[in-house]
């Protein structure tokens, strides 16, 4: 016994699909000993599987074939998925089926932390006040030079869009630059994540900066170096200063200036319009006519 006789419905459905798709292109199909009954059965099976329109197409194609009329309009194309369903074949693989467009683009993947700042994502939103909880950057690094060694702990306020370890690397890279404090007074800086530190650098929201800097008044805009802690205002770290064209150089100034207070230095005044500022001149809101300068020893290493 043939496979089609064992499963007449499948055979009829497959034959119906062949009729619906092929007769319009001139494919000759024979119906067997009882063509009218066979055509009705096939049309019924096609209607069950593919709908009334496809079944009507089978009937029209059969009538045209029987009458020898080859000018009858071709039946509508049957989608690939419908052909598979009617023949008992597996559905189209999900991995290859096209996904209809929703008209909306997928959100961009979050950017990694920015080297030199640790900032994550754009645009950066400045929250006025967060919890005040500090996350210590995990890691350690020996001081690169001989001299007065300062063990520095680095921390970031929880909730800031900043990678603590990338921020810490930026801080230590700035502090140990040849143009930094080692070139000015021999200081060199080791990174520690323990509580046995000589100096601490904290990046905090404006509100937390104001609290940590008391009794100094940082008015939500400024940073400070007080006792053993340099507190960097996240607003300034993220947005820079109108007095500087290059935010990267401004960040270097911010680290060197506030750590300068921690290791014992006080403010300088601008020596005159057009003169290069020293690192301890206040340079966030204005340089008072001086040329901005981020380094304690800007000429160090030059021949």
pLDDT at 65 (0 to 100): 52
Break the chain into its structural domains and give their ranges.
7-87, 115-303
Asked whether the whole model's pTM tops 0.85, one would answer: no
What is the Cα–Cα distance from 237 to 208, expressed in whole angstroms?
A: 14
pLDDT tens by residue, the chain, 303 residues: 444 444 544 444 444 444 444 434 443 333 444 455 445 554 555 455 555 555 555 556 555 555 554 444 454 444 444 444 444 444 333 333 344 445 555 555 556 899 999 999 888 899 999 999 999 999 999 999 999 999 999 999 999 999 999 999 999 999 999 999 999 999 999 999 999 999 999 999 999 999 999 999 999 999 999 999 999 999 999 999 999 999 999 999 999 999 999 999 999 999 999 999 999 999 999 999 999 999 999 999 776
What is the fold, at CATH topology level, of the domain defined by 115-303? Collagenase (Catalytic Domain) (3.40.390)
pLDDT at 101 (0 to 100): 45
């Amino acid at each position: 016994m043939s496979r089609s006789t064992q499963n007449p419905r499948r055979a009829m459905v497959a034959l119906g699909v062949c009729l619906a798709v092929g007769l319009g292109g001139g494919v000759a199909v024979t119906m067997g000993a009882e063509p009218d009954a066979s055509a009705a059965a096939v049309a019924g099976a096609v209607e069950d599987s593919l709908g009334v329109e496809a079944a009507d197409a089978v009937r029209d194609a059969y009538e045209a074939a029987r009458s020898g009329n080859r000018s009858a309009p071709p039946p509508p194309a049957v989608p690939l998925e419908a052909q598979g369903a009617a023949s008992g074949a597996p559905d189209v693989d999900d991995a290859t089926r096209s996904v209809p467009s929703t008209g909306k683009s997928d959100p961009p993947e979050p950017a990694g932390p920015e080297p030199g700042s640790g900032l994550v994502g754009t645009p950066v939103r400045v929250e006025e006040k967060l919890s005040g909880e500090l996350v210590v950057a995990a890691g350690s690094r020996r001081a690169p030079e001989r001299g007065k060694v300062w063990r520095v702990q680095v921390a970031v306020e929880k909730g800031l869009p900043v990678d603590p370890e990338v921020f810490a690397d930026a801080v230590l890279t700035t502090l140990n630059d040849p143009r930094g404090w080692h070139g000015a007074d021999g200081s060199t800086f080791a990174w520690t994540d323990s509580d046995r530190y000589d100096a601490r650098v904290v990046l905090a929201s404006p509100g937390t900066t104001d609290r940590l800097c008391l009794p100094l008044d940082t008015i939500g805009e400024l940073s400070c170096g007080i006792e053993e802690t340099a507190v960097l205002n996240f607003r300034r770290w993220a947005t820079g200063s109108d007095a500087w064209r290059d935010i990267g150089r401004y960040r270097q100034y911010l680290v060197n200036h506030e750590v300068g207070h921690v290791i014992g230095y006080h403010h300088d005044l601008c020596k005159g319009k057009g003169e290069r500022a020293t690192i301890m001149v206040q340079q966030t809101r204005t340089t008072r006519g001086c040329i901005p300068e981020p380094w304690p020893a800007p000429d160090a290493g030059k021949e």
